[in-house]
Amino acid sequence: MQERLQSINLYLIGMMGSGKTTIGQILAKQLDYRFIDTDELISKVANQSIAEIFATEGEEAFRDIESQVLSQLCAYQKFVISTGGGIILKKMNWSYLRHGIIIWLNVPVEELYNRLKEDTTRPLLQHPDPLQQLQTLLEKRKSLYAQADLEIMINSGDTPEEISNQILQKIPSILKKQSDSLN
Ligand SMILES: Nc1ncnc2c1ncn2[C@@H]1O[C@H](COP(=O)(O)OP(=O)(O)O)[C@@H](O)[C@H]1O
Ligand SMILES: O=C(O)C1=C[C@@H](OP(=O)(O)O)[C@@H](O)[C@H](O)C1
Ligand SMILES: [Mg+2]
């Protein structure tokens, strides 16, 4: 599989709580790839948590840093890159994501809510009705996530290891599609 992948990066996209950060680390180990999480890198570069960046500089400033970080990452190879849920919002970001294989972790909104209801680190969920907020965000973003090369439908109860294995199983079909389109 590593040989067939030819060091191409894998980008995980999807809603907050879909497991991008968790599954990206497992997938990277399985592929002998390096792992990076855009949020983690942004936090390091800004020397602030994501919540602090939203509070002090606002979402737009965060989105600009997110784009810059992504633009630099696509120069590297052999990375699994877990993104933040809103990375798909900027059109420009798609030109960076398209350097690699884009994988959408599609998780039902009720499951996202169960995972994140006690979480205080996602500023967009600090809302009087977080379930409604997740539904609204997904409605706005769904057609963008659907532009991924691969959609992984996740049911509650699927473990991160199972999901990572499912991704590994499905990657060859994407590589085939890509090589067919070059012929
Ligand atoms: N397959 C899974 N089953 C159960 N809980 C999960 C699963 N994947 C992730 N989680 C949990 O959900 C929360 C959000 O996961 P995270 O990887 O941070 O998602 P994201 O990066 O997409 O926001 C974490 O508490 C994580 O442990
Ligand atoms: O969906 C979003 O707009 C966001 C998702 C977060 O990352 P995760 O998807 O890893 O939670 C983080 O980038 C920020 O809070 C904004
Ligand atoms: Mg994350």
The ipTM (two decimal places) reads 0.99
Annotated binding site for substrate: 39, 63, 85, 141
Question: What is the pLDDT, as a whole number, of residue 112?
Answer: 98
**Do the beta carbons of residue 114 and residue 156 sit within 8 Å?**
yes
pTM over 0.90, yes/no:
yes
Ranges of the chain with pLDDT below 50: none
From 13, 16, 106, give the residue whose CB has the most ligand 2 atoms within 8 Å, as the site to mutate. Answer: 16
Amino acid, res. 163: I
Calculate how far, in angstroms, residue 129's C-alpha sits from the geometric centre of ligand 1. 20
Question: What is the pLDDT, as a whole number, of residue 179?
Answer: 74
Can you give the chain as a three-state secondary structure string?
CHHHHCCCCEEEECCCCCCHHHHHHHHHHHHCCEEEEHHHHHHHHHCCCHHHHHHHHHHHHHHHHHHHHHHHHCCCCCEEEECCCCHHHCHHHHHHHCCCEEEEEECCHHHHHHHHCCCCCCHHHCCCCHHHHHHHHHHHHHHHHCCCCEEEECCCCCCHHHHHHHHHHHHHHHHHHHHHHHC
Question: What is the pLDDT, as a whole number, of residue 181?
Answer: 76
Question: What is the pLDDT, as a whole number, of residue 176?
Answer: 79
Question: What is the pLDDT, as a whole number, of residue 27?
Answer: 98
Question: Does ligand 1 have an atom closer than 6 angstroms to the CB of 16?
Answer: yes
- Structure-block tokens of residue 90: 């900027």
Sheet with 101-106: list strands edge to edge: 34-37, 79-82, 10-13, 101-106, 150-153
**Do the beta carbons of residue 54 and residue 89 sit within 8 Å?**
no
